[in-house]
Amino acid sequence: MQAVVYQGPGNIVLKDVPRPTIIEQNDALVRITQTTICGTDLAILKGGVATVTPGRVIGHEGVGIVEAVGSGVRQFKPGDRVIVSCITACGSCEYCRRGIPSNCTEGGWILGNSIDGCQAEYVRVPFADNGLHHIPPSINEETALMLSDIVPTGLEVGVMNGQVKFGDVVTIVGAGPVGLAALLSIQFFSPADIIVVDLDDHRLELAKRLGATMVINNQDSSATAKILQKTNGRGVDVAIEAVGHPLTCKVAQEIIGVGGTIANIGVYSQSAELHKEALWVKNITIRMGVVNTTTIPLLLRTIQSGKLDPSQLITHHFPFSDVLHAYEIFANAAQEQAVKIVLAVGDASDDNARLSTDALVEMIVGQIMQQVSAH
């Protein structure tokens, strides 16, 4: 099968590798139909993730069709359409039972990290009953793909960790894919103001369309002053840092108000200074962590209801054969106006036609039932 293989810093290739097989009884083999590229994949390409060794198939986001399951898998069968969660969880270790499966002793973020991942024609998913999610017939695959990682990350690590409440003033520092995903989900919590800070006018314009009440281009380092002016010197209730850079970390600390919360989503490849001498008197909370993806079922229902549309984050489509070009586009996101890139793996036209038919049948049945109940 074809897969994207990390061969060392600055070097990935699309090459033939052996197709994975079922190893453990709780495994599932999934035929990937769509995958995407994450900022963490770029960090891997730069050699910034030590646990990823040469020869690894990378990628931790995908949707597809279950091809085979181990004898211990109960919730899935061949032919099921599924989301592959970026987090693998055994469901029974201490951390899983405490509700933090990202720290699972046998799992966590392992796909595309310590085991082969989703930028491939097939992927082996351990603990399939916990790591896969059924895609309802009414949801298309590229929309579901956004739930593998970025939308749960924006919601769980940004909005929920930030403890956003009705009437809050919130700033999202960074309008990349995860920052914009946080912007999509934050509106369910009804903050009074959502300020988005970035260096890219195109992404800021998209943020305005997605619900930001104020956007600031920080090319001139004016964001802190503008936010403090906007809040009459009070600062914001929640600052969501979605970049992972010392300068954006500094902005989050400068704008946070008394009793506020800084929620750190960004993944740091270098140290960032924490100014405790200024922060300790503010009684603030700082939270950070890895997504658990426990909100995927809730997000699926929200998409079905029509209240959430993460497909708005998708800007580019490529066939899987052009994946290396897609990496170039994503690495130059500002110039290319790229947010999320969808890679179509193989020919999914037959699957999509069948799924479109299924969705149509479901809609017709629903309309008939409504008419029956009305009479």
Mean pLDDT of 354-374: 46
Please state the domain count of the chain: 2
Same domain, 226 and 350: no
Whether 322 is covered by a domain: the verdict is yes
Using the structure block, give the residue that is written with the tokens 């810093």.
9
Mean pLDDT is lowest, of 86-90, 190-194, 262-266, 358-362, for: 358-362
pLDDT band at 347 (very low <50, low <70, confident <90, very high): low
pLDDT band at 351 (very low <50, low <70, confident <90, very high): very low
Same domain, 252 and 302: no
State how beta strands 236-241 and 256-264 pair: parallel
Specify the pLDDT at position 372.
44
CA dist., res. 131 & res. 154, Å (int): 19
Specify the pLDDT at position 367.
45
Mean pLDDT of 227-237: 98
Same domain, 267 and 318: no
Burial class (CB in 10 A: 0-12, 13-18, 19+), 227: buried
Whether 319 is covered by a domain: the verdict is yes
**pLDDT over 70 for what percent of the chain?**
92
Same domain, 162 and 138: no
Q: Alpha-carbon dihedral of residues 273, 277, 280, 285, nearest 10 degrees? A: -10
Same domain, 95 and 207: no
CATH code (residue 166) = 3.40.50.720
Residue scoring higher pLDDT (153 or 350): 153
Q: Quick one: the chain helix, strand, coil %, rounded to 5?
A: 35, 25, 40
pLDDT digits (tens, 9 = 90+) for 86-122: 999 999 999 999 999 999 999 999 999 999 999 999 9
CATH code (residue 37) = 3.90.180.10
Whether 373 is covered by a domain: the verdict is no
Specify the pLDDT at position 48.
86
Mean pLDDT of 252-276: 94
Which residue range(s) make up the domain with 139? 2-149+292-362
Q: Which of 288, 306, 330 is the last residue of a domain?
A: 288
Whether 175 is covered by a domain: the verdict is yes
Q: What is the DSSP letter of 39?
A: H
Same domain, 269 and 351: no
pLDDT digits (tens, 9 = 90+) for 284-299: 999 999 999 999 999 9
Q: Which of 230, 263, 288 is the last residue of a domain?
A: 288
Q: Would residue 136 be called left, alpha or beta, if left means φ above 0 and alpha means ψ between -120 and 50 degrees? A: beta
What does pTM read for this prediction?
Answer: 0.90
Whether 369 is covered by a domain: the verdict is no
What are the residues facing 217 on neighbouring strands?
A: 198
Same domain, 194 and 272: yes
Burial class (CB in 10 A: 0-12, 13-18, 19+), 254: middle
Same domain, 347 and 221: no
Burial class (CB in 10 A: 0-12, 13-18, 19+), 281: exposed
Same domain, 224 and 300: no
CA dist., res. 201 & res. 206, Å (int): 9
Same domain, 298 and 283: no
Q: How far apart are the first and last CA of the chain?
A: 55
Residue-wise DSSP of 99-127: T-GGG-TT-BS-BTTTB--SSBSEEEESS
pLDDT band at 268 (very low <50, low <70, confident <90, very high): confident
Whether 330 is covered by a domain: the verdict is yes
Q: Which of 288, 315, 330 is the last residue of a domain?
A: 288
Whether 242 is covered by a domain: the verdict is yes
pLDDT digits (tens, 9 = 90+) for 16-27: 999 999 999 999
Same domain, 280 and 303: no
Whether 239 is covered by a domain: the verdict is yes
Same domain, 161 and 145: no
